[in-house]
Structure 1
Amino acid sequence: MIDTARLADWMDAAGLPGKGEPLEARFLSGGTQNEIYLLTRGEEQSVIRLPPENAPADRDKGILREWRITAALDGTDVPHTPAIAVCTDHSVIGRTFYLMGYVDGWSPMGARNGWPAPFDTDAEARNGLAYQLAEGIALLSKVDWRAKGLHDLGRPDGFHDRQVARWTSFFEHNKGRELDGMDVATNWLRENKPLDFIPGLMHGDYQFANVMFKHGKPAQLAALIDWEMGTVGDPKLDLAWMVQGWPEDMHSPAAANTSYVNLTGMPTREQLVAHYAEVSGRQVDDLDYYLVLAKWKLAIVLERGFQRAGDDIKLQSFGPIVPKLMREAAELAESTEYKS
């Protein structure tokens, strides 16, 4: 729990609204990486994001990284949570934290049992959700990250070499089984990496789970959220990460059985990629490379969870997903004639 008395004193000293009003904190979500609470003080509402109490000390660096990105998005076209304040003084509540504006919207993570009204019955409005999703990272890719002081957030030089080296090493460290197709996909990525790309701000885990929408139609993004993986790199990996699981047939059973949302009748991958290209101004002719990288990387990320699953049913469910992703990466690599 949060010591609301000490937090309120800090907020007063920082000159934040609501001085003198009682402060209430309500837990919204969280796990091993972050905890999120809704703060209410009179008529003022904000959100606090902080590491859990037992988090390692280096998690503070992650919180500050998220804060830098959140603050940098102010004044841009990217839908985001407003940056309010950050605190690194552990004497306040024992952890580094930051405050951001409360977003009155809804998350697709709550759409496991169907899209909320009016998107459940209005196909055109529902299509807008997908186009808005693609538009979010297109706008993100256009942010002038140097002007926003993010020149040292990532290392775009050698980005693709490091992706392959880092995640191959990560897999070997957590290795519990062989994955069919991994050698094929890994070698292909090494041999076909883009020779040139336009660096940009990346989300790192871009999908429906990490955005919020405004209520009602037309579909409008309210905010991109959860910046743990944010960096400066190659934004087209965000695009591939978003669409790598998009089915070929948007009216097939596969469209209805994605991990947490029903994509039936949504725009096709080609339509979303075209919309991204139009908004971002980036060419997407080499998207196959990024799709191979996205499937390959996601397989390795999920494999780590599977190898540490224990009795966790969710992590256990990654077991059959991982080999499928890696085979898809290898098959796409073998079928692609693109050479950078």
Structure 2
Amino acid sequence: MSAPFQPEERERLDAWLQANIPALGEGVLKTESVSGGTSNIVVRLARENGLRPLILRKAPDRAPPASEKAIQREATVLKALTGSRVPHPGFHGFCDDNAILGGPFYVMDQVDGWAADLSPVTDQMSYKPDFTGPDLHYLGYAMIDGIVEMANLDYLAAGLETFGKPDRFLERQVERWRGQLDSYPQRYPGYEKRDLPGLAYVSDWLNANIPGTGRPGLMHGDYAMNNVMFANRPPARLAAIIDWETATIGDPMLDLAAYAGQLRRRDGVQPARPYLDTALFPYFEDAVDYFGEKTGRDVSAIDYYLVLQKFRMACIIEYKVAEAAVGIAPPEKGKRFDNFVRVLLGEAEALARAAA
């Protein structure tokens, strides 16, 4: 893999790290790319006389402005989580001086753990071989534990009072995501807005059935088994929740729906295309009740959140269909995500009609 920084960048970074990140230790700076490309650039930092390596994250070169804002949001939430029960990488510092590396970046702990991998071919999660049988089953509860800790966090005491807009959070969701969907023809000239089956019914149902049981809390926004790190050895437990760029102060029940919506149900509408083998994981009802017991939250409206989460994801990933329509992405990718969009809206409509 190519060197992550040019010599002059490396020199500026070295000086900034010496002044701001004492945990890295002393000696010659070593940098190693962990990942890069269109997603965030991740670089392992180490010094010859250092005690442990750390991780630097920044937006890729020539990234959209929103990517740099996402890096700042990640740094903000990780700093706020210091000392909390929410599993997270330890935070060491944030730099918004673009003269150092051309964009903002932050430094965090390297997490000792593993993440599940979502195959782009089979659309299924794969896991570390050590986790089989009951250990794999309890990964499902470990995932719920992470949402529990986020939901139970006193976000005001953590300094996150301005991190999101919790007032009327649910009331704003349909307009928010329909607005994003409507923006794609302007963002991708040549793409024409589609008449998606179920979209109108689901939108109307969501607006007409907003529950009054939610209370604000920290939510991740993209909570899945490939966005957490599990401890390397059983018993199943989270080492850290990662990739916080979509985090906000909203309704943690939406994170619960994002994960638990993949689980088999004893009754009701089953997930059409779950990304995990549902026979190996807890029942949906058990996972939801577990969350309710651990947080004291009313989970009776969970089906509303399932519908909202599927609607939200359909609106978001339609951009991948748009990219294929204008030639940015291959046609095969467009067909794949067109199917995802339709499945999500179909599931959302079926859940909404069953609850009507």
TM-score (norm 1): 0.91
Q: Kindly indicate whether the alpha-carbon contact (under 8 Å) linking 2:24 and 2:46 is maintained by their aligned counterparts in 1.
A: no
For residues 121-166 of structure 1, give each alpha carbon's deviation from its aligned partner in whole angstroms, at most 9, with x where no partner exists: xx11111111000110111111111111111111111111221101
Q: Which moved more, 1:136-145 or 1:263-272?
A: 263-272
User: For 1:103, what is the secondary structure of its paired residue?
Assistant: coil
What corresponds to 2:288 in structure 1? 273
Rate the CA distance shift 1:18–1:287 in 2: closer, same or farther, 3 A.
closer
Match of 2:253 among 218, 233, 236: 236
What corresponds to 1:11 in structure 2? 17
Displacement after TM superposition at 1:247 (Å): 3.3
Rate the CA distance shift 1:126–1:87 in 2: closer, same or farther, 3 A.
same
Q: Which moved more, 1:174-183 or 1:106-115?
A: 106-115
What corresponds to 2:130 in structure 1? 118
For residues 213-248 of structure 1, give each alpha carbon's deviation from its aligned partner in whole angstroms, at most 9, with x where no partner exists: 011110110000101110001110110111223234
Distance between the aligned counterparts of 2:333 and 2:238, measured in 1?
Answer: 28
Distance between the aligned counterparts of 1:307 and 1:325, measured in 2?
Answer: 17
Q: Kindly indicate whether the alpha-carbon contact (under 8 Å) linking 2:35 and 2:41 is maintained by their aligned counterparts in 1.
A: yes
Q: Which moved more, 1:49-58 or 1:144-153?
A: 49-58
User: For 2:107, what is the secondary structure of its paired residue?
Assistant: strand
What corresponds to 1:209 in structure 2? 226
Q: Kindly indicate whether the alpha-carbon contact (under 8 Å) linking 2:308 and 2:348 is maintained by their aligned counterparts in 1.
A: yes
Q: Which moved more, 1:324-333 or 1:175-184?
A: 175-184
Q: Kindly indicate whether the alpha-carbon contact (under 8 Å) linking 1:244 and 1:291 is maintained by their aligned counterparts in 2.
A: yes
What corresponds to 1:100 in structure 2? 108
Match of 2:322 among 307, 317, 328: 307
What corresponds to 1:158 in structure 2? 168
Q: Which runs of 4+ in 1 moved over 6 A?
A: none
User: For 1:227, what is the secondary structure of its paired residue?
Assistant: coil
Displacement after TM superposition at 1:291 (Å): 0.6
What corresponds to 2:189 in structure 1? none
Match of 2:45 among 39, 43, 61: 39
Q: Kindly indicate whether the alpha-carbon contact (under 8 Å) linking 2:21 and 2:93 is maintained by their aligned counterparts in 1.
A: no
Rate the CA distance shift 1:125–1:31 in 2: closer, same or farther, 3 A.
same
Q: How does 1:276-291 map onto structure 2 within 5 Å?
A: 276-291=291-306
TM-score (norm 2): 0.87
What corresponds to 1:295 in structure 2? 310
Matched, 1:135 2:138: no
Q: Kindly indicate whether the alpha-carbon contact (under 8 Å) linking 2:321 and 2:337 is maintained by their aligned counterparts in 1.
A: yes
What corresponds to 1:84 in structure 2? 92
Matched, 1:320 2:339: yes
Distance between the aligned counterparts of 1:23 and 1:39, measured in 2?
Answer: 7
User: For 1:308, what is the secondary structure of its paired residue?
Assistant: helix
Displacement after TM superposition at 1:7 (Å): 1.2
Displacement after TM superposition at 1:299 (Å): 1.1
Q: Percent identity?
A: 35
* Unaligned ranges ≥5, structure 1: none
Q: Which moved more, 1:179-188 or 1:36-45?
A: 36-45
Match of 1:27 among 8, 23, 33: 33
What corresponds to 2:188 in structure 1? none
Q: Kindly indicate whether the alpha-carbon contact (under 8 Å) linking 2:136 and 2:236 is maintained by their aligned counterparts in 1.
A: yes
Residue identity in the other structure for 1:67: A
* Unaligned ranges ≥5, structure 2: 185-191
Rate the CA distance shift 1:196–1:264 in 2: closer, same or farther, 3 A.
closer
Residue identity in the other structure for 2:215: I
What corresponds to 1:221 in structure 2? 238
Q: Which moved more, 1:22-31 or 1:233-242?
A: 22-31
Q: How does 1:175-214 map onto structure 2 within 5 Å?
A: 176-214=193-231
Q: Kindly indicate whether the alpha-carbon contact (under 8 Å) linking 2:227 and 2:241 is maintained by their aligned counterparts in 1.
A: yes
Root-mean-square deviation (CA), in Å? Answer: 2.3
Displacement after TM superposition at 1:31 (Å): 4.1
Q: Which moved more, 1:303-312 or 1:283-292?
A: 303-312
For residues 54-74 of structure 1, give each alpha carbon's deviation from its aligned partner in whole angstroms, at most 9, with x where no partner exists: 113443322111111111111
Distance between the aligned counterparts of 1:113 and 1:61, measured in 2?
Answer: 29
Q: How many residues align?
A: 331
Residue identity in the other structure for 2:309: A
Q: Which moved more, 1:104-113 or 1:300-309?
A: 104-113
